């Protein structure tokens, strides 16, 4: 079966630099290994993971300066189809340092360049110009300075006009406003689900009830609550299902959430049912945990874990 069309939208992409040292201490020169560089940011990572899983997508994102030029080059090397929208500012860089003595990651996240209205609006215009329109749109990641809190709400309205199913993975006010507009699938974590519900959530029963409230209010057709090592909750009007993650060796938890979204989206685009698609997403997230640094899921690991999960259900 042919894969349906997928587009990702990343309003705050970042060049991720990864390095290692023995110990992170204050007020000293920290001698690190030569950095590895990867294009990153929510939707960009989703597109990259989809590519690693054997699928195709179109990545739309703002891009500027010398860092932006390198960013585009790296996406080309990975074979990701992309449409950058030119901006005046410099594409941001993030830094992750792995402390070998403690096996911990220190993650330094930068805010991103300030975007003018014409620049962030340009990403929406680029999405609306995709012809034929994508069957699935993934809007994922934080918003940089200058981008209004209702940006993802505007994406939601645009996706409806295009006839696309929108999958949103963000946080805070942008998440709340996107939910108010109504989307196909929301992927909050447990803390974000509590923020959407307006109260603290502790038990799994409360999590399912809160997610069903979102579905009942028309804020999403599907809610997938990521639970880290606990797997994920799949909630629709009829379903409240806990999908447990396989036990895997942990090298780094970075990139697991984006890999999960990529796996869910690709599986849906390939025609899998919703439960199988979320199982595939959980498998992709677990596969990402097996890789070092910010590396995303690997296809062979994902497919093996997916078959293992299906055999156990």
Could you tell me what percentage of the chain is helix, strand and coil, using 3-state DSSP and rounding each to the nearest 5? 40, 25, 35
Other residues' Cβ atoms within 10 Å of the Cβ of residue 242: 15
Query: 96 with 293: CB under 8 angstroms?
Result: yes
Q: What tokens does 304 get? A: 């093996």
| 169 vs 175: CA distance, rounded Å | 8
Q: Cβ of 149: how many Cβ atoms within 10 Å?
A: 14
Residues belonging to the chain = 313
Question: Measuring CA to CA, how many Å separate 5 from each of 39, 42, 136, 156, 238?
Answer: 22, 18, 6, 17, 27
Paired with 105 in beta bridges are: 98
Vertex 38 angle, CA 32 and 44, to 5°? 145
Of 16, 150, 169, 258, catalytic:
258
Residue 258 falls in the annotated catalytic set? yes
| Strand boundaries in 68-116, DSSP class E | 81-86, 92-99, 104-108
Three-class SS of residue 276?
helix
- Known catalytic residues are 258
């Amino acid at each position: 079966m042919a894969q349906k069309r997928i587009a990702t939208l990343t309003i705050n992409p970042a060049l991720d630099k990864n390095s290692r040292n023995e110990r992170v201490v204050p007020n000293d020169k920290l001698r690190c290994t030569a950095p590895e560089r990867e294009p990153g940011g929510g939707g960009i990572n989703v597109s990259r993971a989809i590519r690693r899983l054997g699928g195709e997508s179109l990545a739309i994102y703002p891009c500027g300066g010398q860092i932006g030029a390198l960013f585009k080059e790296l996406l080309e090397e990975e074979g990701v189809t992309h449409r950058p929208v030119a901006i005046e500012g410099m594409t941001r860089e993030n830094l992750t340092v792995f402390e070998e003595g403690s096996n911990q990651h220190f993650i330094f996240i930068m805010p991103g360049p300030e975007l003018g209205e014409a620049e962030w609006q340009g990403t929406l215009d680029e999405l609306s110009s995709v012809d034929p329109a994508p069957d699935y749109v993934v809007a994922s990641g934080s918003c940089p300075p200058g981008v209004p809190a209702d940006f993802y709400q505007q994406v939601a309205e645009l996706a409806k006009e295009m006839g696309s199913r929108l999958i949103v993975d963000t946080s805070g006010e942008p998440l709340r406003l996107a939910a108010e507009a109504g989307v196909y699938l929301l992927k909050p974590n447990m803390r974000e689900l509590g923020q959407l519900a307006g109260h603290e959530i502790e038990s799994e029963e409360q999590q399912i009830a809160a997610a069903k409230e979102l579905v009942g209010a028309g804020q999403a057709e599907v809610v997938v609550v990521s639970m880290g090592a606990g797997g994920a909750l799949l909630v629709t009007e009829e379903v409240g299902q806990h999908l447990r993650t396989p036990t895997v060796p942990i090298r780094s938890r970075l990139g697991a959430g984006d890999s999960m979204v990529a796996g869910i989206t690709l599986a849906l685009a390939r025609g899998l049912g919703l439960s199988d698609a979320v199982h595939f997403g959980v498998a992709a997230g677990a596969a990402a945990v097996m890789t070092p640094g910010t590396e995303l899921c690997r296809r062979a690991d994902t497919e093996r874990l997916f078959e293992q999960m299906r055999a156990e259900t």
